[in-house]
Amino acid sequence: MPSSTTIAADAGAPRRARKLARRLQRGDQIAHVITFLFAATIFIITALLFYELYTSALLTRQKFGWNFLSGTTWDPVALEFGALPFIYGTLVTSALALIIGVPLGVGAAIFLAELAPIRISNGLAFIIELLAAVPSVIYGLLAIFTLVPFLRDYVAPVVQSALGFLPFFQGQSYGVSLLAGGSILAIMVLPFIISISREVLLAVPREQREASLALGATQWETTWNVVVPYAKAGIIGSIFLALARALGETMAVTMVIGNDPKINLSLFAPGYSIAAAIANEFTEATGDMHISALIELGFVLFCITIAVNAVARLLISTTTRKSGVT
Amino acid sequence: MSVIARRTRRRITNIVMFAVTGACTLLAVSVLFFILGYLLWQGGNALNLDFFTKLPAPVGETGGGFANAILGSAKLLILASLIGVPIGFLGGVYLAEFGSTTPAFVVRYTTDLLNGVPSIVMGIFAYRIVVLPMGHFSTLAGGMALGVMMIPIAVRSTEEFLRAVPNALREGALALGATKWRAVATVVIPAALPGIITGILLALARVAGETAPLLFTAFGNLFWSPGWNQPTASLPDTIFKYAIAPYEDWHQQAWAAGLVLLSLVLVVNIAARLILRRQTSISRG
């Protein structure tokens, strides 16, 4: 009975097609679930990171509480752990990095965005972005053998003879110092400040410049009074991003800061940063309490950089959104 | 008279200020050439065939090489890719193609967060997760630390390049009856693949130079490190230890290793960025 089989086949075809469609849709769901699982892993890893840092610093947190942050003695032998010298060192080197790096970086960004022809600007920006790719241990290597002797033999004598009466420049200079740490950080954060600020400046609408120039302002006056204020939030965002980098930077600072856990006003004196302390002491830690103290240092650093990064992202995204609308 | 004086003053300010910004740029750009030049000068002399084939010489003897550190770095990078690439790639695909608003927002936010974690803290994490349970330092722990560092960079570049694929391609595939996952797998991802691969190469180049997360995970080793369970030397870690050592001969070797590491990182970066630039100009034009 050939006719009945054809009828049966005809009735089966749409059902099969529907089945196939359903199976393929399930394929969509499967793909969705698989990629979601991998994306969720990122969340889980980050949560685990936070949890591990928090719980494994339990010992010192119970013993010292908030005094951990304000204590000035760091003595692993006597089990006395105060993080203030490290926090001080981290903050001072990062502040120095910004004091040196921000004028240089913003200046270069202005030149690249406002004056240089776009071709040259792109080429130079390319070179500057490569600077961001140089591993930090290489910055450290160069700093040990060039920057440190330079600061010791040339900068310190000159500054001390001119401004030696200030407490920031007193004392014996060995080269390895807060200033060395701050200087190398300044160089390392430059590419971040320059490339983001340049992009933000380039995103300022042409009309803003033209209006100002038409009113008779010089190019510099236009740049400084119109373009830079327009891009201000983005530039500040790039500075915060640079700050986050500087705070968390480990190797280059470890190699030149001198690694001495004391609070010295003098920039020529050796210091110690949070990251450097972890790098140097972790493998030699003598007991659970010492490890716990170092992990708590890591936790403090983690929280500071996360907060600074969040501010940076917020500022940068508000400016790009603004220029996106106009 | 005063009008002219003011005009000249303004004109001079204009020239002076832009000259200053030009000097800033010159300074920033010259840093790279200084680094390259200095490493070539110092490291070029110390670099020879032994560097690539021999083990480090014991303290007091001259010569020797960093063969174990080069192999160690390669092994660490393989492990890092095994962790970082699948999670980064598929996570990026999720964000660009499948993500619904809230979960995608959370994932994107945590990716940014993870990207901002200082590298030394990543070392602590790998220490707690791998070294402590195993009871000793290992290649595995170092690779894991580097792998986690790769994830955020890989996610971001994957998402970015998938988003850059024109919607017309997606719609064309869907209009021809393809289901969403087939459209993504056979049309969208292949179109974005060159960009995604270069992005992952950039991520690898970035973690290849990381030292801090390796200090107490891979730890370092003066000898070969067979298998994956033992501490291993790596290029950046060896540079660090040789640079702060008090021996002149070790400094020479640190320079040589620095030159090798920097060349690798820069070559990958330059190549990747040139490819990316051509890629974006094609998709725009």
Q: Where are the domains of chain A?
A: 15-56, 62-325
**A165: closest CA among A266, A269, A270?**
A266
pLDDT at A5: 46
Question: Cβ(A204)–Cβ(A224) under 8 Å?
Answer: no
Of A47, A135, A279, nearest to B236 by CB-CB distance is: A135
From chain A, the residues in CB contact with B219 under 8 A are 283
Beta carbons of B91 and A41 less than 8 Å apart: yes
pLDDT at A97: 97
pLDDT at A326: 33
B56, β-bridge pairs: B64
Question: Cβ(B90)–Cβ(B196) under 8 Å?
Answer: no
Question: Which of A18, A35, A308 best tests the B interface by mutation, with the highest count of B CBs <10 A?
Answer: A35
Domain B52-57+64-284 belongs to what architecture?
A: Orthogonal Bundle (1.10)
A291 at the B interface (CB within 8 A)?
A: no
pLDDT at A12: 66
pLDDT at A11: 57
Beta carbons of A130 and B269 less than 8 Å apart: yes
- Alpha carbon of B226: minimum distance to chain A alpha carbons (Å): 22
Chain A stretch 120-139, residues whose beta carbon is closer than 8 A to a beta carbon of chain B: 124, 126-131, 133-139
Question: Cβ(B237)–Cβ(B211) under 8 Å?
Answer: yes
From chain A, the residues in CB contact with B106 under 8 A are 43
Question: Cβ(A37)–Cβ(B107) under 8 Å?
Answer: no
- Alpha carbon of B110: minimum distance to chain A alpha carbons (Å): 6
Of B87, B93, B104, nearest to A41 by CB-CB distance is: B87
Question: Cβ(B189)–Cβ(B107) under 8 Å?
Answer: no
Question: Cβ(B115)–Cβ(B153) under 8 Å?
Answer: yes
Beta carbons of A107 and B209 less than 8 Å apart: no
The per-residue pLDDT for range B222-243, each reduced to its tens digit, is 889 888 999 999 999 999 999 9
CATH of A62-325, one of 3.40.50.720, 1.10.3720.10, 1.10.8.60, 3.40.50.150: 1.10.3720.10
A49 at the B interface (CB within 8 A)?
A: yes
- Alpha carbon of A157: minimum distance to chain B alpha carbons (Å): 23
Question: pLDDT tens digits, chain A, 326 residues: what are they?
Answer: 444 444 455 556 777 777 777 766 678 888 999 999 999 999 999 999 999 999 999 999 999 999 999 999 999 888 899 999 999 999 999 999 999 999 999 999 999 999 899 999 999 999 999 999 999 999 999 999 999 999 999 998 898 888 888 888 888 888 899 999 999 999 999 999 999 999 999 999 999 999 999 999 999 999 999 999 999 999 999 999 999 999 999 999 999 999 999 898 899 999 999 999 999 999 888 788 999 999 999 999 999 999 999 888 888 877 666 554 33
From chain B, the residues in CB contact with A43 under 8 A are 106-107, 110
Beta carbons of B28 and A31 less than 8 Å apart: no
pLDDT at A2: 45
pLDDT at A322: 55
Question: Which of A251, A306, A313, A314 best tests the B interface by mutation, with the highest count of B CBs <10 A?
Answer: A251
**B214: closest CA among B260, B146, B130?**
B146
Q: CA B144 to CA B125: how far, in whole Å?
A: 10
Beta carbons of B148 and A45 less than 8 Å apart: yes
Whole-number mean pLDDT of chain B?
Answer: 91
From chain A, the residues in CB contact with B27 under 8 A are 104, 108
Question: Which of A55, A121, A137 best tests the B interface by mutation, with the highest count of B CBs <10 A?
Answer: A137
- Outline where A145-177 has alpha helix (H): 148-150, 156-163
pLDDT at A160: 86
From chain A, the residues in CB contact with B128 under 8 A are 52-53, 56, 295
**B168: closest CA among B194, B196, B185, B191?**
B191
From chain B, the residues in CB contact with A220 under 8 A are 13-14, 17-18
Report the first-to-last Cα separation within chain A, whole angstroms.
74
Contacts of B30 (CB under 8 A, 6+ apart): none
DSSP B44-111: HHH--HHHHHSPBPPTT---B--HHHHHHHHHHHHHHHHHHHHHHHHHHHIIIII--HHHHHHHHHHH
Q: Kindly state the helix (H) or strand (E) to which residue A80 belongs, with its residue range.
A: strand A80-81
The 10 Å CB-count burial string (b at 16+, else e) for A216-231 is ebbbbbbbbebbbebb
Q: CA B42 to CA B52: how far, in whole Å?
A: 17
From chain A, the residues in CB contact with B215 under 8 A are 279, 282-283
Beta carbons of A275 and B120 less than 8 Å apart: yes
Q: Where are the domains of chain B?
A: 1-34, 52-57+64-284
Q: Tell me which chain B residue has its CA closest to the CA of residue A297.
A: B121
Q: CA B268 to CA A279: how far, in whole Å?
A: 28
**Pairs of CB atoms within 8 A across A/B:** 259
Beta carbons of A35 and B215 less than 8 Å apart: no
pLDDT at A3: 46
A118 at the B interface (CB within 8 A)?
A: no
Question: pLDDT tens digits, chain B, 285 residues: what are they?
Answer: 588 888 899 999 999 999 999 999 999 999 999 999 999 999 888 888 888 988 888 877 777 889 999 999 999 999 999 999 999 999 999 999 988 788 999 999 999 999 999 999 999 999 999 999 999 999 999 999 999 999 999 999 999 999 999 999 999 999 998 888 889 999 999 999 989 999 999 999 999 999 999 999 998 888 898 889 999 999 999 999 999 998 888 899 999 999 999 999 999 999 998 888 776 655 543
- Alpha carbon of A291: minimum distance to chain B alpha carbons (Å): 10
The per-residue pLDDT for range A147-188, each reduced to its tens digit, is 999 999 999 889 888 888 888 888 888 889 999 999 999 999
From chain B, the residues in CB contact with A249 under 8 A are 118
User: Encoding tokens for residue A24?
Assistant: 């393929």
Beta carbons of A107 and B20 less than 8 Å apart: yes
pTM of the model: 0.90
3 state DSSP class of B218: coil
Q: How many CB atoms lie within 10 A of CB A16?
A: 10
- Alpha carbon of B182: minimum distance to chain A alpha carbons (Å): 8
